A and B are shown apart, each in its own frame.
Chain A
Amino acid sequence: MNGSSLAAVAPELLRLGVGLLALVGFIAANGMLLLYVERKVAGHVQRRPGPFEVGPHGLLQAFADAGKLVGKQLATPAGADGLLFWAAPLMAFMPVPLMFIAIPFGENLFGLQTNLGLVLILSFAGFNVLALCLAGWGSNNKWSLLGAARAVSQAVAYEIPLLLSVLAVALMCGSLDLRQLAGSQGGWPWQWNVAVQPLAFFIYFVCAVAETNRAPFDLAEAESELTAGVHTEYSGMGNGIFFLAEYANMIVVGCVATALFLGGSQGPFAPGPWWFLAKMYLLVTLVIFMRWTYPRVRFDQLLNLNWRWLMPLALVNLLATALAVKLAG
């Protein structure tokens, strides 16, 4: 066998390769799962059963949807910039596995240990804006362009309080390594960071919903105003990849929230990755519930909320944390 040649590869690199592959599989599976969950939640919120025909309780509906999306024609609108138009969905999706590699699903279940894990995730998350911007510009559609303009100002605005709230936790724990951040918390809810930093968690959660363009902050898509905003012109898998990226981003923000605020894989009795996944899916389901419950905010209200409330609050929170850390230390 070629065990010797395998051994020649640096174990860290091997771990990264396997991790990336596994994560892409995880993302795809999650996309399917969340699609099903979203449709089921939507159904039950709206007093209907949701998908029910394909498989028992519609369990195979996600596969049918995926098959349909893959089978559809990829049309480029007339006058569109083909390169930018098709680069956009790829750019939306490609950073996603990279964000996942730094996430500690369990004590030893992670793709890459780096002491800049948090920075890595936040910086790759910024790519999403660029993707939406390119999609809006490349589509040669005025609605898409308006959507892109909204997406950019929304993402840029909400990134700041998001960073500030995350920074407060990082300051408290003295690390940017997600594994350490998660590991520094105890198993019981009152030992989690959310108990110490409730305001930061709240700000983080609101900003995360806005960053992932989910309702009630889905202004870039805003189906009833901008038809579908930046997604208007995308057909088949073009749209599908955007969806996949959106769901993956939801999971990423859920994961980061879990690691930072909810104790990561720590939990009462038997700590392990299941705790991590359970908390993360709980957050994601909450986001899905919000989408089917609230009306959409207006653009100026969205920005007002950010600049007038979240940003000062996050700043105050950060300063208070810094002061507390200084005094305690």
Chain B
Amino acid sequence: MSWPAADPCQGLEGDLYARVFAEGARDDTLILNMGPQHPSTHGVLRVLLEMDGEYVMRAEPVLGYIHRMHEHMAQNRAYVQFFPNMGRVDYLHALAWNWAWAGAVEKLAGLEVPRRAEYIRVICTELNRVNSHLLWWGAYLLDLGAVTPIMYAFEDRELVMDMLQLITGSRLTYSSFRFGGVLTDIDTEFVSRCRAFLKRMPERLEMYRELVTGNAILRGRLEGVGVIDQMTARRYGATGPVLRGSGVGYDVRRAEPYGLYHEFDYAVPVHHDCDCMARYMVRMDELEASLSIVAQAIDGLPEGHCIHPDAPRGKWRPPAGEVYFAVEGARGKIGVYLASDGTEIPYRVKLRSPSFSNLSLFAEIGQGTLLSDAVAILGSLDLVIPEIDR
């Protein structure tokens, strides 16, 4: 299509999206731009809302404000050079994206990963997931008007970030996985810190449960709000805690096992209420599940290399072909489609981000809710906008 040459709504205010949106609006409603700068859109998401008083009649997310074209960048650099990008796609669960990329290339080239490296991957990724969920928890309550919990969450996150800094060298945008293993081995200091953290967390989670989860106002805000039934979840391709909050126990770690997840004993938390509270509870339970995986992995950490001795380094040519690799990120199913022509740079990389599909739900379930509920629903989807825009 071409624009603004053929401008269907001359004389109306706003940009293309606002004008297209306003075309379908009723006369007596208010078009409201929520974002790209808004405290509850967590970044630069913009949602166009048609409001009848406090009620949202129609909602449409507008994307692209932090679009960086990672897929194009992937086609312009060597395979290993794409790792730093992965840390920046979803900055909250960077290691899951690291794993998705490493896993896709390893699958394409048939690379072997030493057992110790697999364990280190599990430990780091799960710690990173704990980190991500803790931040979500704090930020979500901030959306709901409770300003204190995020400070408690950050107290715990700080410990995780310190630990991960020891082995990855960074605190947020990790890029420490490599084809055939991980960059650095974990040492005794990491193990002891990790054990201390695992000892500390159950007490903290208990406190969070008592202070926040049981709060009557919080329950009033979340229960019965933003109901996503299973059919809607399927048609929009929702995954992760959003789907598990709708009563579907779909977890990529179980459905398409990768790494050594099959060696660990953990429950996939499922809640059947389909509302914001169910998604909240799923994430709170996942914190415990992830901590239990980390505990098992730390206890059973095998000896060996942290990277395969014959792992490819620098510019390297994998075989031609295509591969699809999925991992379970904190927000849902992360997929990497990789087509290779046998040269040093990938031919085509497609990044399937879970928030992208989860957010596309919002236009449907946001209809007819109160503005406060719309905020609660957006928060319950746990959006990371850089991941959506990529």
Please give the distance in Å from A94's CB to the nearest CB on chain B: 30
Closest CB in chain A relative to B62 CB, distance in Å: 16
Partner of B145, one of A48, A150, A295, A300: A295
Cβ–Cβ < 8 Å partners of A294 in chain B: 145-146, 215, 217
Residues of A within 8 A of B53 (CB): 149
- Nearest chain B CB to A153's CB is how many angstroms away? 10
- The contact string, 1 if C-beta is below 8 Å from chain B, for chain A 199-218, is 00000000000000001101
Q: How far is the CB of B180 from chain A (nearest CB, A)?
A: 43
B145 with A296: CB separation less than 8 A: yes
- Determine whether A227 belongs to the interface, using a CB cutoff of 8 Å to chain B: yes
Q: Find out whether the CB atom of B145 lies under 8 angstroms from the CB atom of A216.
A: yes
Residue B106 interfacial (CB < 8 Å): no
- List, in ascending order, chain B residues with CB within 8 A of A298's CB: 220-221, 370, 372-373
The answer, yes or no, to whether A123 is at the interface (CB within 8 Å) is no
Instruction: From the candidates A48, A226, A296, A300, name the one contacting B144 in the complex (CB within 8 A).
Output: A296
Interface size for chain B: under 10, 10 to 19, 20 to 34, or 35 or more residues? Answer: 20 to 34
Q: Are B217 and A146 in contact (CB under 8 A)?
A: no
CA distance A150 to B372 in the complex (A): 12
Do B151 and A225 have beta carbons less than 8 Å apart?
no
User: In the complex, are the beta carbons of A292 and B371 less than 8 A apart?
Assistant: no
Q: Does the CB pair A216–B217 fall under 8 Å?
A: yes
Answer yes or no: A46 CB below 8 A from chain B CBs: yes
Q: Report the number of A-B residue pairs with Cβ-Cβ less than 8 Å.
A: 80
User: Is there an interface contact between B371 and A225, defined as CB atoms closer than 8 Å?
Assistant: yes
Cβ of A299 and Cβ of B221 under 8 Å apart? no
Taking residues whose C-beta sits less than 8 angstroms from the other chain, chain A's interface range is 20 to 34
A146 touches B54 (CB 8 A): yes
The CB with the most chain B CB atoms within 10 A, among A146, A149, A215, is that of: A146
CA distance A244 to B382 in the complex (A): 36
Asked if A223 is an interface residue, CB under 8 A from chain B, the answer is yes
For window 294-320 of B, CB contacts with A under 8 Å fall at none
Binding site for A on B (CB under 8 A): 30, 32-33, 38-40, 51, 53-54, 141-148, 151-152, 155, 215, 217-218, 220-221, 370-373, 375
Pairs of residues from A and B, 7 with the lowest C-beta to C-beta distance, nearest first:
A296-B145, A46-B151, A295-B146, A295-B144, A298-B372, A295-B145, A224-B143
Extra contacts besides A47-B151, A297-B220 (14): CB < 8 Å: A46-B151, A142-B32, A146-B54, A224-B375, A225-B371, A227-B39, A294-B215, A295-B145, A295-B146, A296-B144, A296-B372, A297-B217, A297-B221, A300-B370
Q: List 27 A-B contacts (CB under 8 A).
A: A42-B147, A46-B148, A47-B151, A146-B51, A215-B145, A216-B145, A216-B217, A222-B372, A223-B39, A224-B40, A224-B144, A224-B145, A225-B40, A225-B371, A227-B38, A227-B39, A292-B147, A294-B146, A294-B215, A294-B217, A295-B141, A295-B146, A296-B145, A296-B217, A298-B221, A298-B370, A300-B370
